Structure 1
């Protein structure tokens, strides 16, 4: 353990702030009102060096019931709690509520500090210790060390430091890997620097200059400067109290409850699926009850949607969905606390199952089963469910964000699933994406079915337009992913791809026998017409073809290269056009230049056809125009030499 955050908890006026001052020398009551009233209203912060040399940050939280929402803003990121109970009063209402919060947030380590021992005798102190032990039975602090101290005389302070140091060695360090997340618990402005936010870094490593995103408002910013324990640093890591000087952001844009994070990792949501626990001390909770949700440092009003019952009884737990009145951000596994709307008191909490949840229909077995899989399933089960529910191609990063799993765990799990042929791996621009095998087969069947029907309806076309296929049937998928999917299907010989179309591998555009006869007749018309071809509508009328079919045949003949478009509504038989080109080249080899009139005479046609032909050969780089004449291009001359 290299970084530790210690939080205080306990009833008002039980000596939390005095204890912090005795340990650190810092008076965390920084507001004028706090000085005047003798209680903590806002969060206070101090640093402490333990006997082992470990540097810890202390978050001093208010104890008064009116300020418990401020307490909740500070307790979310702590590693170790100091539960402070005054010897002269023992366990009090806010002691119980703070302990409920510690339980709900699953803070596993702590030290029980009995303060003000200078005010009572030994006999009374023994009774208080016994009361505390009974109170803590069955809680995360049941076996926590208990130390008697007096902040006035200094009694027990050294013993307390040793006890904290010993417990700190057992605290699991926050992950320095992964993305940056820092819930904001304070925000203020410093002259000459601008907006500064503070909070506990929940995960990742933050460097000076890093790009950041302030959620849920999606405000882009950057870390101009960092401080840890009042010292300027170039980087901060998970588990540290950090002050961040943000660029380009006003104080009003970053209220407490905001989350400073790596860009793109969090998604604001108005719905979150949760595992909800109702405290035994609470009243029954009805469906759609309005409550206060405390998530990280945020307080959000929301409605509790019970998914499998009409009422949650005290001491019970249930899957639920929280409908938030304003957007919030979280990751799977984050813990939260709920307090009743009025009177305001802690009634329960739980953990996030899906931080960006769709709206569910209540009393549905399949909904509950999906939530249970996401909550308790193996990584394989969770990721397969996520892929199937998304019905899209997803990267490891996207899956990690959606499932709440670590990205490396996602990559390893995907490799195992690929070996079992349960997923398809799709490569795109040096990035790996994934798709369930079952979904892949369903999509392939859908595409083949659509293309097959298209082939029957339009036997002369090369295939179904790619973009139309995507926009009609795969609109949620971006074009790059769709093209990559088609490439995989072509490799599996399920489809054949043309430049803009999708076909079946066994398909070749060809007309039916009766239509083929008409096409041969049509081509013969153009061939016999030589350098004076008829208009398309006249030729199709002669061949007995109607408008829509005539257009189909035209596109077919142009694709096959049997007819060539020379100008608008002017088509030449390919053999005639090749013959005209050769006659023109032969003429220019000898004469070097040719006019429109000379072309007309050479090909025994009219100016109506001679000029479009020359313009076509100009575009094809056979000839080029010089004044009113044409000459061979350099490229064509080189071909002649060769």
Structure 2
């Protein structure tokens, strides 16, 4: 248990701690000279069960309230000290307000210097204190008369502390480790040491930690927990931790830094919070009101952004705190705000969301989210968040910002029956409720069914267009992860940039089939290496040029043809046959010219060059000046199959299509619901505002990425 003193200057806080523990917490020369506490002081006392109680003694002077706040952030019990001769004073009221704002649940009140007054004065001050604490966390707390000069009442204070220690539940250690640094110093022969109260989790000797918000990595060399050597420190302990790090010095660490588990490092500077304004504030809190924010041991400038109307004295409202510098915090942490002149405490509250948006922060949806985030139980907060827009949650960020333990996320997923996806390079875990996932998937499948019914000649719906029609509307990376999940269950298939129902295939209309039966012979047989262009085909069969172009592009989606040059389509089998010819030229000559290729396909130089430029664009050939060579890494893009090229037209030394293997990466894509070959993937755009070309490549496509070719094969 950590006990923190509170009260006005010269009311005997330090003397009372010394009388209880035997330790003088005034350690500075100036404190000894002036007879007042200036900085935080620390003392320890063995408890009856062998554990140790820690004491944080705070200064009472109004100029050092910021120091008092640095020590009050991690206490379990507040020991409010009021001198019987002075009675309630300004810092008595301010310290009590701070204790109330910080949500300290347990407390005792020591009425000191009773040896200086009579019984009537003691009774009058007792009544004054009872009136002061009414309606605060210390309402009903025991008021114990004591004199450090005579020793009267000290035993009663010790007994009350022991009783309180037994009733205060030990802080849970399941969360990840956080310690608020309130001191940093160097010990000769030991090195850099930081002290503070462990806010959550546990730490062991040898652990790798991080100093936040600076992001400096350190290692734990040794630990003193509750002023005793230890192998482990845990939530609720006062710890001194000896740190090691490259070039680390005490000046690299400042009061207010947080030593934490490396996974928690995510400093915040836009924090949505609940703000309670003290009733003594002279006027309402307005927009962009400047304050000093105190959190744990940190003090930083901030501005208050109202999420509603101005906050009247004694009122409470949702706000966003825009900080001058980022801090390390957790959802649920308490904070206090004071005026910029450091003369008064204005209010305080609790952090609700560390990632507050800079825009659209006052919408009804956003305010509903903050109400859900106010739930202290993580499971209840997740449940409520998933029931309101946007109906999904970044579970990894949620767990990190609440400093939840390693097992918390799997437990939440199981307990709430969540559907999750790993998204992005950091594998952030996005979650939907089970019911929402069922509605999402059924709605998506229904959209695809409708699309296929209305568009039997199209291969599928574009991913982005489908995302915009789906509810909830997931972010693009999460939507793609959801599609992969559906593809793995074989409910859908992913064809590059398109999504279709499994089992669906594009069908030509009877009219298009008839037209194709007339066009196909014109592209094949002896003229296959020099087929007519779109305009010539249209004139020959009496169709409009636009209709012929539309049909041939549709056939491109079906992987029956490839647009080698603008409006110049070749049969897919012919393209594969030309790859075989290129293989033969490469085997015979290594490098070859356009003229050599032209002679093999027996067409004009212009068409031969257009074909080679088509292969250049897709990396099948590598050009150096007037010479080209084959890129073996791209042969599978257009390699012939047995159905494409008749056996009697294949060179004797050509590879047997049956022996061609699919690369492992392509097989992995197929197992994930994607196409097993890059050919047939409709994810290469034609450029110049033209539509994506499905099932092949066109004359304006960029080549797909590939591993670097050997040095002698690169241009």
TM-score bracket relative to the smaller structure: 0.7 to 0.9
Distance 1:234 1:471 in 2: 54
Given that 1:24 and 1:48 are in contact with CA atoms closer than 8 Å, whether structure 2 keeps it comes out as: yes
Change over 3 Å in CA distance of 1:621–1:553 after alignment to 2: closer
| Equivalent residue, structure 2, for 1:338 | 337
TM-superposed deviation, 1:337: 1.7
| Equivalent residue, structure 1, for 2:62 | 65
- Does the residue aligned with 2:332 lie in a helix, a strand or coil? coil
CA root-mean-square deviation: 4.8
TM-superposed deviation, 1:35: 2.0
Distance 1:50 1:227 in 2: 17
Is 1:290 paired with 2:283? Answer: no
User: Residue deviations 1:343-387, cap 9 Å, x none?
Assistant: 611232222233332247798666555544443598676425534
Choose which of 580, 593, 600 in structure 2 pairs with 1:607.
600
TM-superposed deviation, 1:454: 9.8
Change over 3 Å in CA distance of 1:440–1:256 after alignment to 2: farther
Is 1:316 paired with 2:315? Answer: yes
Change over 3 Å in CA distance of 1:523–1:79 after alignment to 2: same
TM-superposed deviation, 1:519: 2.0
Distance 2:222 2:189 in 1: 12
Distance 1:595 1:138 in 2: 96
Change over 3 Å in CA distance of 1:197–1:511 after alignment to 2: same
Choose which of 142, 157, 166 in structure 1 pairs with 2:154.
157
- Does the residue aligned with 1:243 lie in a helix, a strand or coil? strand
Matches within 5 A, 1:547-562: 557=555, 560=558, 562=560
Given that 1:353 and 1:374 are in contact with CA atoms closer than 8 Å, whether structure 2 keeps it comes out as: yes
| Equivalent residue, structure 2, for 1:519 | 516
Distance 1:558 1:320 in 2: 57
Distance 1:284 1:195 in 2: 46
TM-superposed deviation, 1:65: 0.8
Given that 1:51 and 1:161 are in contact with CA atoms closer than 8 Å, whether structure 2 keeps it comes out as: no
Distance 2:332 2:224 in 1: 28
- Does the residue aligned with 2:97 lie in a helix, a strand or coil? helix
| Equivalent residue, structure 2, for 1:263 | 262
TM-superposed deviation, 1:166: 0.8
- Does the residue aligned with 1:40 lie in a helix, a strand or coil? coil
Count of residues in Structure 1 that have an aligned counterpart in Structure 2 = 604
Change over 3 Å in CA distance of 1:21–1:549 after alignment to 2: farther
Distance 2:349 2:58 in 1: 21
Choose which of 199, 202, 205 in structure 1 pairs with 2:202.
205
- Does the residue aligned with 1:312 lie in a helix, a strand or coil? coil
Distance 1:427 1:469 in 2: 20
TM-superposed deviation, 1:98: 1.1
Distance 1:560 1:574 in 2: 13
TM-superposed deviation, 1:68: 0.6
- Does the residue aligned with 1:176 lie in a helix, a strand or coil? coil
Choose which of 83, 104, 107 in structure 1 pairs with 2:104.
107
| Equivalent residue, structure 1, for 2:232 | 235
| Equivalent residue, structure 2, for 1:398 | 397
| Equivalent residue, structure 1, for 2:140 | 143
TM-superposed deviation, 1:179: 1.3
User: Residue deviations 1:135-159, cap 9 Å, x none?
Assistant: 3333322333333433344443333
Structure 2 spans left out of the alignment, 5+ residues: 581-586, 590-597, 613-629, 646-650, 661-715
| Equivalent residue, structure 2, for 1:89 | 86
TM value normalised by structure 2: 0.70
Distance 1:632 1:367 in 2: 64
TM-superposed deviation, 1:239: 0.4
Given that 1:309 and 1:363 are in contact with CA atoms closer than 8 Å, whether structure 2 keeps it comes out as: no
Mean Cα displacement is larger for which, 558-567 or 341-350? 558-567
Matches within 5 A, 1:455-494: 462-464=459-461, 466=463, 477=475, 479=477, 481-489=478-486
| Equivalent residue, structure 2, for 1:53 | 50
| Equivalent residue, structure 1, for 2:176 | 179
Change over 3 Å in CA distance of 1:14–1:28 after alignment to 2: same
TM-superposed deviation, 1:55: 0.6
TM-superposed deviation, 1:17: 1.8
Given that 2:26 and 2:37 are in contact with CA atoms closer than 8 Å, whether structure 1 keeps it comes out as: yes
Distance 1:89 1:117 in 2: 11
- Does the residue aligned with 2:299 lie in a helix, a strand or coil? strand
TM-superposed deviation, 1:177: 0.4
Mean Cα displacement is larger for which, 119-128 or 468-477? 468-477
Distance 1:492 1:368 in 2: 37
Change over 3 Å in CA distance of 1:609–1:460 after alignment to 2: farther
TM value normalised by structure 1: 0.77
Change over 3 Å in CA distance of 1:390–1:403 after alignment to 2: farther
Is 1:280 paired with 2:279? Answer: yes
| Equivalent residue, structure 1, for 2:349 | 350
Change over 3 Å in CA distance of 1:341–1:523 after alignment to 2: same
- Does the residue aligned with 1:159 lie in a helix, a strand or coil? helix
Change over 3 Å in CA distance of 1:635–1:70 after alignment to 2: same
Given that 1:303 and 1:322 are in contact with CA atoms closer than 8 Å, whether structure 2 keeps it comes out as: yes
Change over 3 Å in CA distance of 1:323–1:573 after alignment to 2: closer
Distance 2:250 2:217 in 1: 14
| Equivalent residue, structure 2, for 1:326 | 325
Distance 1:58 1:512 in 2: 85
Distance 1:443 1:344 in 2: 58
Change over 3 Å in CA distance of 1:403–1:41 after alignment to 2: closer
Distance 2:99 2:658 in 1: 86
- Does the residue aligned with 2:459 lie in a helix, a strand or coil? coil
Matches within 5 A, 1:613-632: 631=653
Given that 1:360 and 1:367 are in contact with CA atoms closer than 8 Å, whether structure 2 keeps it comes out as: no
Mean Cα displacement is larger for which, 427-436 or 174-183? 427-436
User: Residue deviations 1:24-73, cap 9 Å, x none?
Assistant: 33322222222221111111112211233221121111111110110001
Structure 1 spans left out of the alignment, 5+ residues: 582-593, 597-604, 624-628
TM-superposed deviation, 1:527: 3.5
- Does the residue aligned with 1:434 lie in a helix, a strand or coil? strand
Distance 1:573 1:12 in 2: 90
Matches within 5 A, 1:431-442: 433-436=430-433, 437-438=435-436, 441=439
TM-superposed deviation, 1:402: 5.9
Given that 1:11 and 1:93 are in contact with CA atoms closer than 8 Å, whether structure 2 keeps it comes out as: yes
TM-superposed deviation, 1:517: 2.7
- Does the residue aligned with 1:292 lie in a helix, a strand or coil? strand
- Does the residue aligned with 1:226 lie in a helix, a strand or coil? strand
Choose which of 113, 125, 133 in structure 2 pairs with 1:116.
113
TM-superposed deviation, 1:8: 1.1
| Equivalent residue, structure 1, for 2:31 | 34
User: Residue deviations 1:307-333, cap 9 Å, x none?
Assistant: 3433413x3333333333333343333
